[in-house]
Structures are given as structure tokens and as C-alpha cells.
Structure 1
């Protein structure tokens, strides 16, 4: 079975909201390099505090009228066809091992 794809969506989110990396760095009080590291396509390891600061920073820069940015907006989750079949009940379920 192929692996589930969970991807970090910060780059796309910032582009769709028109948020610039330099502005986010300024609002968060971090370096441009720190924001560059967060903008990787791989999901970064974040503490609750860093995630909270990121969300506050993003929301303070979002255009008026755009929806509030939530943690779920930062993560994209997609399934392979095999995983969809398994979830829908047409696949073979794994045995529970005790």
C-alpha cells in the first residue's frame, strides 16, 4: 500500500492570502531565514507556542474579508486509491495484534 500524503501547505496559503515572508518575519519577531525554514514543503516540527505565533502572525496579515487561518489550513491530507478503498470498506483490513 502506498503511503498517505500529508503535506505542509504554508507556501500555498501565504500566496493565496498575499502574505509576504518578510512581513510575516517582522510580525513574528523572527529572522527571514526562520520563515524560509517554515516555508519548506516538508512539515516542520513546531511547538504549540510556535504554531500559535505563526497563526497569529498569518491572521494579522490576512486581507480583510478573507477567512481566519486555522491549523487545518496549514496541512494538506490526501489519500491514495488503496487507502480510499480501505476506508470505504472495500479493502482488506489489517488484523489487530495484541
Structure 2
């Protein structure tokens, strides 16, 4: 039995709104490599509520629009054999 996955779509969101890793890193106050690692993750990384809130707020500011949490993730149900 496969596990259900929460697919992380930060890379797509950043591309859609033309947000660069360096810009997001500066807004979050982290090293650009941290954003690169987050962007490259295929499944949702473990982020606490504060970190996720900070990420959403930074994305909203840089995109100049409201980006919902649902834009960042997609649920892929498990498949049963």
C-alpha cells in the first residue's frame, strides 16, 4: 500500500508569480539556500505553524496578492493494489 502524499508546489507558485529565491529569502530573513531547498522539495516539508504563516505572508507580499495555502499543496490519495 502506498502512502497518501501532500505534494509541495512552492516551485510552481514562485514561477507563476515570478518570485525569485533571493527575494523570498530576504523577505523571510533566511539564507537563499534555505529557500532553494524548500523549493526543490517534492513533498511538503515539516514546517511549524509560524514558519508556514511567515512563508505565506512573504509570498503574499512579493506576489502582491493573496496566495492561499491550497495553492502550495495538492493531496494525492494513496492507491490500493
> Which TM class, normalised by the smaller chain length?
0.7 to 0.9
Q: Which residue of 2 aligns with 1:16?
A: 16
Shift of 1:34: 1.1
Structure index of larger Rg: 1
Q: Gaps spanning 5+ residues in structure 2: where?
A: none
3-state DSSP class of the match of 2:13? helix
- TM-score normalized by the length of structure 2: 0.82
Contact conserved, 1:11 with 1:41, CA < 8 A, in 2? no
Deviation per CA, 1:57-80: give whole Å up to 9, x if none: 1011004xx5x1111111012347
Shift of 1:43: 1.4
**Within the alignment, does 1:33 sit opposite 2:33 as a pair?**
yes
Shift of 1:47: 0.5
Q: CA RMSD in A?
A: 1.8
CA distance in structure 2 between the partners assigned to 1:4 and 1:42 by the alignment: 10
Could you say if the C-alpha distance between residues 80 and 42 of structure 1 is closer, same or farther in structure 2, counting changes exceeding 3 Å?
Answer: closer
Which consecutive aligned stretches of 4+ in structure 1 deviate over 3 angstroms post-superposition? 1-5, 78-82
- TM-score normalized by the length of structure 1: 0.69
Answer 1 or 2: higher relative contact order, Cα 8 Å, separation at least 6: 2
Shift of 1:29: 0.6
Q: Which residue of 1 aligns with 2:51?
A: 50
